[in-house]
Chains A and B, each alone.
Chain A
Amino acid sequence: MSISVKEASWAISNKPIVDSVTLGVETGQMLGLLGPNGSGKSSLLRLICGLRRVESGVITLGDQEISRIPRAQLSRRIALVEQQATTDAHISVEEVVRLGRTPHRGPLSPWTVTDEEAVAHALDSAGMTSKRARSWHTLSGGERQRVHIARALAQTPTELLLDEPTNHLDIQHQLDILSLVAKLPVTSVVALHDLNLAAMFCDRIAILQHGRVVAIGTPETVLTEDLIAEVFGVRTYVDRSPHHGRPHIHFLTRGG
């Protein structure tokens, strides 16, 4: 088990945001986190990478409890791609990706061959090598998301967390980013809104509601008409896509 969360809870001023969540991700798998706004997806991701501390429960990476792993060591292992993180700084693509080497370097240590190779490899994996000299401010939303993924990969993580990486992207770039993530040789947890995209790309799906996991399993077992109606409040018809074999969710209007 690559990531394992047991009974994790976290609250803001006594309002539970993540409520006794238990889930696990196998090494190399891609887990989709689905749920309405405010269901605790982002908070759960921040707990897993140690940005927030669980109030009760245990989160382990491999066989180590994350609260016992020092900050810098943790970020050499697990990387987070936030949604829509941007900057005013006049910074190039390569400079952003180089930030990913921060946890591997001391305060004054020089840039090494290993750093250079990690950056080159990360740029290559995210398909941004040809745009490495471009300024951040000239990039499209999809390209920025790719740069963030490259920055995360430069950390050489074994686990990658992505918080709604496809938000505000057009459909081509949504498909583009998710197939990129699905192909990466890392364990990943992705918070998503689009049920069909989650069904297409994720190995397993966890559905969150009011901070609790209400279902977890393969897309086929989790994405049922009843559960979607209960959690998202919409009527659907689910069948198997004849094109990619994954569940396909048809949304029905209230009258139909």
Chain B
Amino acid sequence: MAGKPEGGMPRASIKTKRTFLLLALLSIATLLLAIAMAVSIGEMTIPIITTFKAVANRLFDANFAVSRLQEGVIWDYRMSRALVAAACGAALALSGVILQALLRNPLAEPYVLGISAGASTGAVAVMILGVGYGVLTLSSGAFIGALVAFALVSVLAAGSGGSHERIILAGVAGSQLFNALTSYIVTTSANAEQARGVMFWLLGSLGGVRWPDVYLAAPVALGGFVVCLFHARALDAFTFGSDAAASLGIPVTRVRIVLIGLTSLMTAAMVSIVGSIGFVGLVIPHAARFIVGPGHLRLIPASAMAGAIFMVLADIVSRIIIPQQILPIGVVTALFGAPAFAFILYRARRAV
């Protein structure tokens, strides 16, 4: 055997630690470039160099000459939007990694399992019905909705025999139920303007994102990343199922509660800011696995970075694909994600 294996499990595609570090640096550079592009591209095109100057002005008090209008657009609108997109992509991809490992199902992700739909219902209940009497915020409403959805889907899956395939069917049923509940609340209780806003938000929209959203999205994504990384070995141990994990000394119940709580939290935070965006959690982990292999110590950072880059790029596409109009970002991710879903389904069938 040439070359001693280093680090975690995967050596399938990436041979050494050095290649992995190189890839990590490359992906950070790509993410920064993508964010810079996202900030520059738009109705008012701003040269990338101006973007860098404006950022340098804010962060390091560098006194570059940038027009106040440009600096305002860059800083107040586009930068916050790009950062939320990145955080959201990373969090959704991490949720996908967790669910696919814990449920041992390649199709598991928050959107497919109905967790996003549950979070939407929770958020809409707070927003329109005023559930929680002003004590519950939109995000905590979404969090409760996400947990309820996950509980319901788990019970449905367990009741139908508990096989790993069943949970996807249970997720479909859960999605339908919560989408119906959301529509019910919107049509019976919302006024026309609220209804229009909710429908646009449900498709996934970064339009109304401002800095306060960054202060929610970024810590959730970063915190989620750290917790995930801390559980990388535990997720590896689930490769042959939960009994195998337990016999390797993993506290299975505790790990499940922590990680499923984390997934619900990340999904809820992102849904409450940008609406339910599908397929990122499905496609990105598979793409990352293809590059760095199945070991979670590498899969987790790779998925987080790939998710962040993908969402920032998807946001750019959503803004430029139709001139003078902004497509909901959920539509863009679904246009990429649905074919990928079909492809994974096809491969899963052949592998059996």
Contacts and interface: CB of A to CB of B under 8 A. Distances in A.
A90 interface: yes
A103 B294 CA distance: 19
Contacts of A76: 249
Given A71-B251, A94-B5, A100-B248, A88 B232 contact: no
Contacts of A197: none
B248 A108 contact: no
B247 A49 contact: yes
Interface in B233-255: 233-234, 236-237, 239-241, 243-244, 246-251
B76 interface: no
B249 A88 contact: no
Given A88-B106, A92-B12, A133 B233 contact: no
| Listed residue (B244, B248, B351) with the most chain A CB atoms within 10 angstroms of its CB | B248
Nearest to A163: B243
Given A80-B247, A95-B10, A102 B237 contact: yes
B234 to A, nearest CB: 8
B161 to A, nearest CB: 16
A47 to B, nearest CB: 13
Nearest to A116: B4
Nearest to B164: A88
Interface string B272-309: 00000000000000000100011100000000000000
A209 interface: no
Given A90-B12, A95-B9, A111-B7, A85 B237 contact: no
Nearest to A76: B249
Given A88-B106, A105-B233, A71 B246 contact: yes
Contacts of B239: 87, 89, 91, 96, 99
Given A75-B249, A88-B106, A82 B5 contact: no
Contacts of B229: 108
Given A75-B247, A103-B249, A111-B7, A87 B233 contact: no
Interface string A42-55: 00001001010000
A110 B7 CA distance: 7
A79 interface: yes
A245 interface: no
Interface string B212-242: 0000000000000000011111101101110
B11 interface: yes
Contact of A137 (B4, B236, B243, B351): B351
Contacts of B230: 107-108
Given A94-B5, A102-B237, A107-B230, 19 more contacts: A51-B246, A71-B251, A76-B249, A79-B247, A82-B243, A87-B239, A87-B240, A88-B104, A88-B351, A89-B239, A90-B289, A91-B12, A94-B11, A99-B236, A99-B237, A99-B248, A107-B233, A108-B229, A133-B1
List the 7 closest A-B pairs by CB distance, nearest first: A103-B249, A75-B249, A72-B249, A80-B247, A102-B248, A85-B240, A89-B294
Interface of B: 1, 4-7, 9-12, 104, 106, 229-234, 236-237, 239-241, 243-244, 246-251, 289, 293-295, 348, 351
26 contacts: A49-B247, A51-B243, A72-B249, A75-B249, A80-B244, A82-B243, A85-B244, A86-B240, A87-B104, A87-B239, A88-B351, A89-B239, A95-B12, A95-B295, A96-B239, A98-B9, A99-B236, A102-B233, A102-B249, A103-B249, A107-B234, A108-B230, A110-B7, A111-B5, A132-B1, A155-B248
